[in-house]
Structure 1
Amino acid sequence: MTAHASGNEAAQTPASRERLALVTGASSGIGQAFAHRLGAEGYNLIVVGRRRERLEELVAALPNVSVRPVVADLATDTGVQTVAEVCASEHLSLLVNNAGVAHYMPFTALPADKASELLHVKVVAPTLLMQAAVPGMVARGEGIIINVAGMVAFGGPAPAQGRAVYTGTLAHLVALSQQLHQELGPQGVQVQVLCPGVVATEFHERQGIDLSAMPRMSAEDVVTASLRGLALSEVVCAPGVERAELLDAVFGADLVAFHAQAPQLAQRYRTA
Structure 2
Amino acid sequence: MSLALVTGASSGIGKAFAERLAAAGHDLVVVGRRTDRLKALAASLPAVAVDVVTADLATGDGVAVVAGIAATRPLDLLVNNAGVAHYMPFAELPVEKARELMHVKVTAPTLLSRAAVPGMIERGAGTIVNVAGMLAFSGPAPAAPPAGQRAVYVGTLACTVAMAQTLRAELDGTGVTAHVLCPGIVATEFHEVQGMDLSALPRMSADDVVTGALAGIALGETVIAPGVHDAALLDRVFAADLAAFGNQSPQLAARYRDRPRG
TM-score (norm 2): 0.97
1:227 and 1:147 map into 2 onto residues whose CA distance is 13
Residue in structure 2 matching 1:184, options 167, 171, 177: 171
Per-residue deviation, residues 47-104 of structure 1 (Å, max 9, x unmatched): 0000000000111100000000000000000101110000001000000000000000
- Given candidates 238, 244, 252, the residue that maps to 2:239 is 252
Deviation at 1:270, TM superposition (A): 1.1
Segments of 4+ moved more than 2 angstroms: none
Report matched runs for 1:153-192 at 5 Å. 153-159=136-142, 160-192=147-179
Could you tell me how far 1:269 is from its partner in structure 2? 1.2
Task: Show the counterpart of 1:111.
Answer: 94
Paired residue for 1:261, among 236, 248, 254?
248
User: Does residue 139 in structure 1 map to residue 126 in structure 2?
Assistant: no
1:155-205 deviations in whole A, cap 9, x for unaligned? Answer: 001122211000000000000000000001311111110000000000000
**Aligned residue-pair number:** 255
Deviation at 1:114, TM superposition (A): 0.2
Structure 2 Cα separation of the partners of residues 27 and 166 of structure 1: 21
Q: Within the alignment, does 1:201 sit opposite 2:184 as a pair? A: no
Q: Is 1:25 paired with 2:25? A: no
Partner amino acid for 2:138?
G
Q: What is the aligned counterpart of 1:65 among 28, 48, 55? A: 48
Q: 1:74 aligned to 2:60? A: no
Paired residue type of 1:89: T
Give secondary structure in 2 for the equivalent of 1:199: coil
Q: Counterparts of 1:93 and 1:269 in 2: how far apart (Å)?
A: 50
Residue 43 (structure 2) pairs with residue 56 (structure 1)? no
The answer to whether residue 253 in structure 2 is matched with residue 270 in structure 1 is no
Residue among 75, 91, 96 paired with 2:79? 96
- Asked if 1:241 corresponds to 2:224, the answer is no
Return the alpha-carbon distance in structure 1 between the equivalents of residues 154 and 125 of structure 2: 31
Letter of the 1:244 counterpart: A
Which blocks of at least 5 consecutive residues in structure 1 are unaligned?
1-17
Percent identical across equivalent pairs? 66
User: Which amino acid letter does the alignment assign opposite residue 132 of structure 2?
Assistant: A
Structure 1 CA distance, aligned partners of 2:157 and 2:115?
21
Q: Which has the higher relative contact order, 1 or 2, with Cα contacts under 8 A spaced 6 or more apart?
A: 1
Contact 1:33–1:220 (8 Å) recurs in 2: yes
The amino acid that maps onto 1:142 is A
Mapped contact 1:185–1:191 kept (Cα < 8 A):
no
CA distance in 2, matches of 1:242, 1:156: 21
1:243 and 1:128 map into 2 onto residues whose CA distance is 33
